[in-house]
Amino acid sequence: MKRKTLLQSVIATALLGAFVLAGGCQTPGGKSASTCPLCGGHTSAMSAKGLDCDKMVCPECKGVETDAAKMSAALAAYTGADSASVQVCEHCNAVVMTCPKCAKK
């Protein structure tokens, strides 16, 4: 009897673990973005308002933008649509978001 209960517990735990891993972290656009494509660091959702960063990286094409005016325009266009937060790398402080070129695809 105990053996059957133990086996059921193990199976239930394995299924729950698989379900959690399959979900992953999701950005507002629905793409997984828990890892920075630039340095491999962990990303966290942060408010785009008043965000101070020195680079932006696109998870689609891996392009890096460092021009402040272009980054500001891209952030304004992104957050103006329907979101007030973006993914930011905790290691290299890069904003991880789809570039305007990839967003048009």
Confirm if 39 and 11 have CB atoms less than 8 A apart: no
Q: Domain spans of the chain?
A: 25-103
| Span 64-82, pLDDT tens digits | 999 888 888 888 777 665 5
Q: Which residue has the tokens 């932006």?
A: 56
Please tell me whether residue 71 adopts helix, strand or coil conformation: helix
Other C-beta atoms closer than 10 Å to the C-beta of 82 total 8
pTM for the structure as a whole: 0.60
The string of pLDDT tens digits covering residues 7-22 is 666 565 655 554 444 4
